[in-house]
C-alpha cells in the first residue's frame, strides 16, 4: 500500500472504507471471483498433442472470467469534467456560524469532518492533458455526522448560462465538434465561440475563462467557489442566502500560456502528479473556507439578481466571512473505486442548509443524481467512496442492479404496522425544507435583472492588472485565431467592444475582423476587490513545494551546489538535480552526485526556477543545446534564475539582453528582472537569514523571487515576448 505519511485525519471514513479494502501484498493466493485458487493464470486450457497446439477450450471458466471481466472494465466517462483527480482530507471549523445555520458541520468547532475533493477540467476526455485552458472543477464531498454534504464547485465564481435548460447546448458547443470530434481539451473552435456570441449572458464567464485563472499552476494554487446560491437557516428559522468560498494558503498562481501548451505534451499528468507528490511529502494543501451572506429580506437590494449564477456578489457589498479550513492529506489507494466512482450531487445538503431559486442550481439538482444512475447504476451511493459515515437506512429505497446491502425485516414500505424505520422529527434531526412562500404564474422566464449581461464583465476587466489584461488579449487572440469561420471571429471581436475598446481593437488587429472605433456601450469605470488573482499572494512569502532545478555537469562546484540545495530544501522547496546523465556526475573537488534526471528527460517548463552552480562544468553546459535552451526558455516564462561564479556568464549569454544586468567579476550580488547572480565564496553568497524584498544575499534574493511566482516586469518591458 502507498505510504500515507502524517495523515492527520482521524475519523470514521477510512475505517469505513477499510471494510472494502484488500491488499495485493497480503500474501494471499490468486483466486477466481468465486473463490477457487488458480494454479496457472498464464495459459488458456486447450488440447495439445506432441507437435501441435489445438483450439482453446470454451470450457476454461478461469480464462473466460478473466477476459470477460477485462471486457467490462470501462464505465462511461463523465459527460463533462471527465478528466480529474482527487484526494481525501478534512474540514475544520474555527468559528461557529450558529447565528445563521443549524448545520453541525458549520457550528460545532470541536469536529473534524472528513472529505473527498475531486479536481477536474471540463472539456477534455478522461485521457486529456491537465494544463489545457479550461475551467477547473472543485467538487467536495463532506462526510458529516448528519449525512453527506456535496459542494460541486469550480475555480471560477460564475457560469456561462443562467438557465439549466441551456446546459446541453453549452456543453455540445464547447466539446469536440460533432462531425470530426475535434478539438480535444480546447475551447478554441468555431462552435464554442459561436455559442458565446449567441449568448451574451456568457460574456462575464468568458472573460474569467480567458484570464490566467484557466491555466492554473497547480490545483493547490486555485480558489474554489460554490458558484450557485444556497440558503442557510438558523434555529429561529431565519434564512440567509449564501455563497461558499475556498481561498488557497499558497496563493492563486497560473502558468504562462506557452508553458501550459508545452506541458500538455511534455507531462500531461502535471497537475495530478503535483497534487500527489505534495501530499506524499506531507505538504498538505489548505484552503480557508468563507461565506458570503445576504439576509433573505435584502435579496432585492442589488442591481443584479443574487440568484443569477453569471454574477458575483461584489465583496465591497457582501464581505467574505472566513470561518474554517479545508486540508487535503491523503492520496487515494486506488484511482478507479475512489476517484472515478466518486459521484457528487448538488442536491446533497444537510439540515441547516437549503437550496435557493437560483435557476441553474434548480436544474443541477435534477441532473447530477440522474447522471450518476447512468454512469454507476442505481446503487451508486452504496459505493465506499460515496456512502455516508453516519448511520443511514431506508426501508423503501432498495433493489436495483448491484445492490450490496442486505436489509433485514418483513416490510419495505412506510407506514408499517411495526413502525419500523420511522422518519425523524425536526428535533430529532429530520430534514425540513425552508417554508418559502411561493406565488406566481407558470412561465418560461427569468426575473428582469437577469437581462443585464455586461456590467460585471466590465468590472472584471477594469479590475485586472496590466499584465493580466495583456494575457487576456493574448488568450482571446489565440482562441479566435483557431476559429476559421470569419462570421464567428468577426462577430466576436465586435462583441468584445461591448466590454473594452482597447481589448477589442487588439484582438481584431491580431485575428482579423472589424476593429471597433468606439465602445458599444460606455465603460462604467468601476473596479472591485478580489477579481485580480494577483491580490491572492500568500500572507507570508513561501517557496514550499516549488519545483526548483539545479543544472550540473562534470566539473561543477560542489560547495555552491550543496549550499543552495540545502537552503532551498530548508524552505520546503522540491529540489531536483538535472545532469548530463543519471549516473555519477563528478564535481571539481571530486564528489559524485547522481542527478534526479538527465537533461533530455526533463524540460524547464516542469520547474518553477533554476539555479546553476559555478565550476568548470559551464564549458560543457555551453555546448549542450538542452541546457542552453533551458535558461532561455525559463527567462521567457518569467521564472527566477540564479547562478554563481562561472555560471554567471553562461546565464548572461543565453538571455542575451542588455537590459538584464548580471554581477561583474569582483562585485558580489546583482539582481535584475528576477535573474540573481553573484561572485564569491559559496557560504557568503548562499547564507539565508531573512527573505524579503530588501534581502541582499544571493540565495535570499533567489528565494524571494521564486516566492513572487513570476517576474511580470520582463513581459511588461517586452523582454519575454515569446510567451
Ligand atoms: Fe456540472 N455537471 N452542471 N457544473 N459539474 C457535472 O455530473 C450540470 C455546473 C461541475 O468531479 C455532471 O457527475 C448542469 C456549474 C463539476 O465528479 C453533470 C449544469 C458548476 C463537476 C453536470 C451544470 C458545475 C460537474 C457530469 C447547469 C460549478 C464534476 C458528471 C445547470 C459550480 C464533478 C457528473 C466530479 C459535473 C451537470 C453547471 C461544476 C452532467 C445540468 C454551474 C465540478 O451532471
Ligand 1 near 139 CB (within 6 A): yes
How much is the pLDDT for 2? Answer: 41
How much is the pLDDT for 723? Answer: 46
Nearest CA to ligand 1 atom 27: 164
Reported as a single tens digit per residue, the pLDDT across 657-673 is: 999 999 999 878 999 99
| Single pTM value for the model | 0.96
What positions carry a catalytic annotation? 81, 154
Q: The complex's ipTM?
A: 0.97
Q: How far apart are CA 88 and CA 339, in angstroms?
A: 10
Q: Best mutation site among 76, 79, 80, 342 for ligand 1, i.e. most ligand atoms within 8 A of its Cβ?
A: 80
Percent of the chain with pLDDT over 90: 94
How much is the pLDDT for 579? Answer: 96
Reported as a single tens digit per residue, the pLDDT across 121-139 is: 999 999 999 999 999 999 9
Q: How far apart are CA 456 and CA 590, in angstroms?
A: 63
Residue 371 CA, closest ligand 1 atom number: 44
Q: How far apart are CA 274 and CA 217, in angstroms?
A: 9
Cell matching residue 681: 565564496
216 C-alpha to center of ligand 1: Å? 20
Cell matching residue 352: 441547516
How much is the pLDDT for 81? Answer: 98
DSSP collapsed to 3 states, 466-491: HHHHHHHHHHHHHHHHCCCCHHHHHH
Residue 361 CA, closest ligand 1 atom number: 31
How much is the pLDDT for 666? Answer: 82
- The pLDDT of 679-701, averaged and rounded, is 92
Cell matching residue 200: 451574451
**434 annotated ligand-binding residue:** no
- The pLDDT of 301-310, averaged and rounded, is 98
Angular region, 242: left φ>0, alpha ψ -120 to 50, beta rest: beta
Ligand 1 near 78 CB (within 6 A): yes
How much is the pLDDT for 7? Answer: 39
Q: Would you say residue 292 has pLDDT above 90?
A: yes
Q: How far apart are CA 295 and CA 267, in angstroms?
A: 47
Q: Would you say residue 188 has pLDDT above 90?
A: yes
Q: Would you say residue 10 has pLDDT above 90?
A: no
Nearest CA to ligand 1 atom 30: 78
Q: How far apart are CA 368 and CA 347, in angstroms?
A: 8
Q: How far apart are CA 5 and CA 10, in angstroms?
A: 13
For β-strands 592-593 and 547-552, DSSP reports them as unpaired
Residues 562-566: contacts with CB under 8 Å, at least 24 apart: 563/682, 563/683, 563/685, 563/686, 563/687, 563/699, 564/611, 564/613, 564/642, 564/686, 564/699, 564/702
Q: How far apart are CA 658 and CA 655, in angstroms?
A: 9
Q: Would you say residue 223 has pLDDT above 60?
A: yes
How much is the pLDDT for 11? Answer: 64
Residue 226 CA, closest ligand 1 atom number: 32
Reported as a single tens digit per residue, the pLDDT across 514-546 is: 888 888 889 999 999 999 999 999 989 999 999
* Cβ-Cβ contacts under 8 Å for 667 (sequence gap 6 or more): 679
Ligand 1 near 343 CB (within 6 A): yes
Reported as a single tens digit per residue, the pLDDT across 327-371 is: 999 999 999 999 999 999 999 999 999 999 999 999 999 999 999
Q: Would you say residue 385 has pLDDT above 70?
A: yes
Q: Would you say residue 400 has pLDDT above 90?
A: yes
Reported as a single tens digit per residue, the pLDDT across 466-496 is: 999 999 999 999 999 999 999 999 999 999 9
139 C-alpha to center of ligand 1: Å? 9
451 C-alpha to center of ligand 1: Å? 24
- The pLDDT of 589-615, averaged and rounded, is 97
Q: Which residue has the higher pLDDT, 13 or 466?
A: 466
How much is the pLDDT for 51? Answer: 80
* Cβ-Cβ contacts under 8 Å for 171 (sequence gap 6 or more): 79, 80
Confidence at 722, pLDDT banded by 50, 70, 90: low
How much is the pLDDT for 515? Answer: 83
Residue 227 CA, closest ligand 1 atom number: 32
Nearest CA to ligand 1 atom 32: 153
- Residue 567 in 3-state DSSP? helix
80 C-alpha to center of ligand 1: Å? 7
Ligand 1 near 323 CB (within 6 A): no
How much is the pLDDT for 668? Answer: 87
124 C-alpha to center of ligand 1: Å? 14
- The pLDDT of 298-304, averaged and rounded, is 98
Q: Looking at 16-20, 253-257, 704-708, which range is the least confident one?
A: 16-20
Are 579 and 519 a contacting pair, CB within 8 Å?
no
How much is the pLDDT for 312? Answer: 98
Rg (CA), the chain: 29
User: Whole-number mean pLDDT of the chain?
Assistant: 96
Amino acid at each position: 500500500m502507498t505510504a500515507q505519511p502524517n495523515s492527520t485525519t482521524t475519523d470514521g471514513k477510512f475505517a469505513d472504507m477499510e471494510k472494502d479494502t484488500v491488499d495485493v501484498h497480503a500474501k494471499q493466493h490468486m483466486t477466481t471471483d468465486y473463490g477457487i485458487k488458480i494454479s496457472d493464470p498464464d495459459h488458456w486450457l486447450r488440447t495439445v498433442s506432441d507437435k501441435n497446439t489445438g483450439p482453446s477450450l470454451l470450457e476454461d471458466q478461469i480464462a473466460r472470467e478473466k477476459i470477460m471481466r477485462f471486457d467490462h472494465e470501462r464505465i462511461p466517462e463523465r459527460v463533462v469534467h471527465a478528466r480529474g483527480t482527487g484526494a481525501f482530507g478534512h474540514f475544520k471549523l474555527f468559528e461557529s456560524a450558529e447565528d445563521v445555520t443549524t448545520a453541525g458541520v458549520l457550528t460545532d468547532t470541536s469536529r473534524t469532518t472528513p472529505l473527498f475533493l475531486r479536481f477536474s477540467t471540463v472539456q477534455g476526455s478522461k485521457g486529456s492533458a491537465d494544463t489545457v485552458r479550461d475551467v477547473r472543477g472543485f467538487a467536495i464531498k463532506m462526510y458529516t455526522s448528519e449525512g453527506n454534504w456535496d459542494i460541486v464547485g469550480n475555480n471560477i465564481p460564475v457560469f456561462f448560462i443562467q438557465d439549466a435548460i441551456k446546459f446541453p447546448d453549452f456543453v455540445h458547443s464547447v466539446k469536440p465538434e460533432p462531425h470530426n470530434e475535434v478539438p480535444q481539451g480546447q475551447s478554441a473552435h468555431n462552435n464554442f465561440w459561436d455559442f458565446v456570441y449567441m449568448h451574451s449572458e456568457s460574456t462575464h464567464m468568458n472573460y474569467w475563462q480567458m484570464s490566467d485563472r484557466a491555466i492554473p499552476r497547480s490545483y493547490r494554487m486555485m480558489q474554489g467557489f460554490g458558484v450557485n446560491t444556497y440558503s442557510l437557516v438558523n434555529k429561529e428559522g431565519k434564512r440567509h442566502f449564501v455563497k461558499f468560498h475556498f481561498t488557497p494558503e499558497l496563493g492563486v498562481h497560473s502558468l504562462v500560456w506557452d508553458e501550459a501548451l508545452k506541458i500538455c505534451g511534455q507531462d500531461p499528468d502535471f497537475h495530478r502528479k503535483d497534487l500527489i507528490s505534495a501530499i506524499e511529502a506531507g505538504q498538505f494543501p489548505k484552503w480557508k473556507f468563507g461565506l458570503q451572506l445576504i439576509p433573505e429580506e435584502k435579496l432585492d437590494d442589488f442591481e443584479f439578481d443574487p440568484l443569477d449564477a453569471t454574477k458575483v456578489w461584489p465583496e465591497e457589498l457582501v464581505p467574505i466571512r472566513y470561518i474554517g479550513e479545508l486540508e487535503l492529506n491523503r492520496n487515494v489507494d486506488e484511482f478507479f473505486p475512489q476517484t472515478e466512482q466518486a459521484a457528487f450531487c448538488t442536491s446533497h445538503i444537510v439540515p441547516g442548509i437549503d437550496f435557493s431559486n437560483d435557476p441553474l442550481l434548480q436544474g443541477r439538482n435534477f441532473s447530477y443524481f440522474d447522471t450518476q444512475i447512468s454512469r454507476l447504476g442505481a446503487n451508486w451511493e452504496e459505493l465506499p467512496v460515496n456512502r455516508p459515515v453516519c448511520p443511514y437506512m431506508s426501508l423503501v429505497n432498495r433493489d436495483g442492479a448491484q445492490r450490496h446491502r442486505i436489509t433485514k425485516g418483513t416490510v419495505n414500505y412506510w407506514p408499517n404496522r411495526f413502525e419500523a424505520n420511522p422518519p425523524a422529527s425536526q428535533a430529532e434531526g429530520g430534514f425540513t425544507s425552508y417554508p418559502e412562500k411561493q406565488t406566481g404564474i407558470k412561465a418560461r422566464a427569468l426575473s428582469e435583472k437577469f437581462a443585464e449581461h455586461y456590467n460585471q464583465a466590465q468590472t472584471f476587466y477594469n479590475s485586472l492588472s496590466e499584465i493580466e489584461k495583456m494575457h487576456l488579449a493574448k488568450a482571446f487572440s489565440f482562441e479566435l485565431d483557431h476559429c476559421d469561420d470569419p462570421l464567428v471571429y468577426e462577430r466576436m471581436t465586435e462583441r468584445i467592444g461591448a466590454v473594452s475598446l482597447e481589448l477589442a481593437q487588439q484582438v481584431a488587429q491580431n485575428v482579423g475582423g472589424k476593429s471597433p472605433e468606439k465602445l458599444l456601450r460606455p465603460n462604467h469605470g468601476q473596479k472591485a476587490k478580489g477579481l485580480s488573482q494577483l491580490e491572492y499572494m500568500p500572507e507570508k512569502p513561501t517557496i514550499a513545494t516549488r519545483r526548483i532545478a539545479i543544472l550540473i555537469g562534470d566539473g561543477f562546484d560542489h560547495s555552491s551546489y550543496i549550499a543552495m540545495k540545502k537552503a532551498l530544501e530548508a524552505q520546503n522547496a522540491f529540489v531536483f538535480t538535472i545532469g548530463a546523465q543519471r549516473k555519477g556526475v563528478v564535481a571539481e573537488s571530486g564528489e559524485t552526485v547522481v542527478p534526479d534526471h538527465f537533461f533530455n528527460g526533463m524540460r524547464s517548463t516542469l520547474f518553477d526556477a533554476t539555479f546553476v552552480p559555478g565550476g568548470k562544468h559551464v564549458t560543457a553546459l555551453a555546448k549542450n543545446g538542452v541546457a542552453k535552451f533551458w535558461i532561455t526558455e525559463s527567462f521567457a516564462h518569467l521564472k527566477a534564475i540564479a547562478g554563481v561564479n562561472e555560471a554567471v556568464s553562461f546565464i548572461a549569454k543565453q538571455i542575451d539582453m542588455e537590459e538584464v544586468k548580471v554581477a561583474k567579476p569582483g562585485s558580489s550580488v546583482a539582481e535584475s528582472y528576477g535573474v540573481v547572480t553573484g561572485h564569491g565564496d559559496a557560504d557568503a553568497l548562499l547564507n539565508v537569514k531573512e527573505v524579503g524584498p530588501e534581502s541582499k544575499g544571493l540565495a535570499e534574493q533567489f528565494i524571494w523571487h521564486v516566492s513572487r511566482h513570476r517576474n511580470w516586469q520582463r513581459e511588461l518591458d517586452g523582454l519575454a515576448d515569446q510567451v
